[in-house]
Amino acid sequence: MRNIWTIAKREYNHYFISPIAYVVAFIILFTEGIYFTYIISFYSQQALFGGMQAPDITPINWLFVFLLVFTTPAITMRSLSDEARTGTLELLLTAPIRDYELIIGKWLGGLLFVLTILAVTLVYAIIMNSLVTPGIDQQLMISSYLGVILAAAALLALGVGISAIFTNQIAAFFATFGLFFILWFMMGIFGNLVQGSGAQVFQYLNISAHFSDALNTGSIKLSDLVYFLSLIALGLFTGTTAVEIRRWR
Amino acid sequence: MIQVNGLTKDYGARRAIDNLTFDAEQGEIVGFLGPNGAGKTTTMRILTGYMPPSDGTATVAGYDIMEESLEVRRRVGYLPETVPLYNDMTALEYLKFMAELRHIPDTEERAYETLEGVNLTERANSYISTFSKGMRQRMGLAQALIHRPEVLILDEPTIGLDPAQVVEMRKVIREIGKDRTVLLSTHILSEAQQICDRVLIINKGKIVTEDTPENLQSRLVGAQRVILRVRGDSDGLSGKVSKVKGVRAVESKPDGSVEFEFGAGEDARPQVAKTIIQAGYELLEMRAVGLSLEEIFLELTRDNAPGKKSS
């Protein structure tokens, strides 16, 4: 546990000196800021004309995860591939830490970075809460944020896992982005194209189905939690195995 | 401290090291001498737990490298050939990170102590990206020493350093090696002679020979080669030289100099000098040429090489 934390801390601190991380944080926060302003002004106008519907945080959180699909590959691409390229992986693999501790530490560091950006967006929830009477739907908000955290954790685990396979971070970026594109966009399309149990399989693999249509609508179901936890386990397992294979080569 | 038994590593069809067997005692500095691609780095990577061997066993500080890899890694300090540093960290941050990975209680204090040991205290808060090659090498050594390991494995610790830095590095290694086991690799013969208590010569994944530097030296000085240069026309010089007793393998070089060899215990140089001066040449230079590593290998792998160990 201690080793995981040491690696995670190093990884987390590294993001704050990395230009890519700042670009990612800027893209997410800037886009969210614009979207938030739009939502507030939209609901204000509705209210002026007698609209009774209250805004909630789910569109903002949906956008957050949507942007993560594009930005997580940039966050995780150098995670292990850069260590392999610069030779520092040799340092970590000959230090008294287990391979899985290294991978979990890398993932945790990335997750903490994304959670830091997410924490900034809490300000939107707070503002929204003060504008709406009697406040925004708390249960929906908890479910929505749980969904964001799980989706972020799953995307990052897959990204770190893929980064462990490559020595070239550009290759890691495109492989990760390709996978996310398939999981987020293509699975839904495939699901509509085929019939029967095939459609169910595609629908089950679709990240959007477990987030946008489930946790982000206020429904916390075990199957969705299991889905995200499985993706996390798959990503971390891939990463650990990739490091082990690297040793044997 | 280090016991290696029949260690073998294959990269696909290529055998990088082939049935290596050797050991190193506590407080001994053992040099791994060989050309590039001889299998030095592979052996070191196996001993440090970076990669498993294809066959054979080894123990480091009493622990099996395969079964008890973490225990081995706790007791070994390793400086890889490409010095693994994080350029975005300061010297102090880097060493604190390494100390934390090794569960050292007071990381800051230990980091400062270690920096002092490699003469980098005044650069503690400088970013590693600003370091010179020599400082980076010392930083890599500091990282290997942070947990005060029983065994130190250094892969080409002086490569790429300027002469003054090489001298400094060798001094540091000798100091460290007083109470620790050090296994270092090099392809520079004189370096192995200066630092090591014992030298293993490795070529194409096999140990060619193993001895103390002194013994190795005397075995290798079976033949000495000399370059001779005279002023002006050197026509007929090689003919004169080759007539001197003990001289063999006389060779005229295109630049007018002449190279010759003489056997051990029959120093032909005084007689050669006398002969050519009497013949009216003006002697400008007579200089012994060290045998290159390649020549040593040829020498050692030749069937009747002087002092070759039968194996």
**CATH assignment of the domain containing B247:** 3.30.70.100
Rounded Cα distance, A9 and B108, in Å: 16
In B217-281 the beta strands, taken as DSSP E runs, fall at 223-230, 247-252, 258-263
Residue B311 confidence (pLDDT): 37
Q: Which domain holds residue A75?
A: 2-248
Regarding whether B227 and B271 lie in a shared domain, the answer is yes
Residues of chain B with pLDDT under 50: 303-311
Regarding whether B177 and B282 lie in a shared domain, the answer is no
- Whether ipTM tops 0.85, in short, is yes
Regarding whether B273 and B207 lie in a shared domain, the answer is no
Residue A137 confidence (pLDDT): 82
Order of strands across the sheet that contains B181-186: B76-79, B151-155, B181-186, B29-33, B198-203, B206-211
Q: Which domain holds residue B201?
A: 2-218
Q: How many domains does chain A have?
A: 1
Check CB contact under 8 Å for B88 and A3: no
Regarding whether B266 and B139 lie in a shared domain, the answer is no
Among residues B164, B196, B218, which one ends one of the domains?
B218
Q: Per the domain annotation, does B197 fall within a domain?
A: yes
Residue B305 confidence (pLDDT): 42
Helical (H) or strand (E) element with B183:
strand B181-186
Q: Are B30 and B20 in contact (CB under 8 A)?
A: no
Q: Per the domain annotation, does B309 fall within a domain?
A: no
Regarding whether B246 and B128 lie in a shared domain, the answer is no
Regarding whether B140 and B17 lie in a shared domain, the answer is yes
Residues of chain A with pLDDT under 70: none
Residue B221 confidence (pLDDT): 60
Regarding whether B255 and B203 lie in a shared domain, the answer is no
Regarding whether B195 and B75 lie in a shared domain, the answer is yes
- Report yes or no: A29 at the B interface, CB cutoff 8 Å: no
Residue A2, burial from CB neighbour count under 10 angstroms (0-12, 13-18, 19+): exposed
Cβ contacts of A7 on chain B, cutoff 8 Å:
101
Residue B109 confidence (pLDDT): 93
- Report yes or no: A186 at the B interface, CB cutoff 8 Å: no
Q: What is the pLDDT of residues A204-215, one digit of tens each?
A: 888 888 888 888
Regarding whether B9 and B158 lie in a shared domain, the answer is yes
Q: How many domains does chain B have?
A: 2
Rounded Cα distance, A91 and B89, in Å: 15
Among residues B197, B218, B239, which one ends one of the domains?
B218
Check CB contact under 8 Å for B88 and A97: no
Rounded Cα distance, A87 and A98, in Å: 18
Regarding whether B235 and B137 lie in a shared domain, the answer is no
DSSP A216: G
Residue B294 confidence (pLDDT): 57
Chain B residue whose CA is closest to A84: B84
Residue B293 confidence (pLDDT): 55
Q: What is the CATH number of the domain that holds B164?
A: 3.40.50.300
Neighbour count for residue B182 (Cβ, 10 Å): 26
Regarding whether B104 and B251 lie in a shared domain, the answer is no
Residue B295 confidence (pLDDT): 65
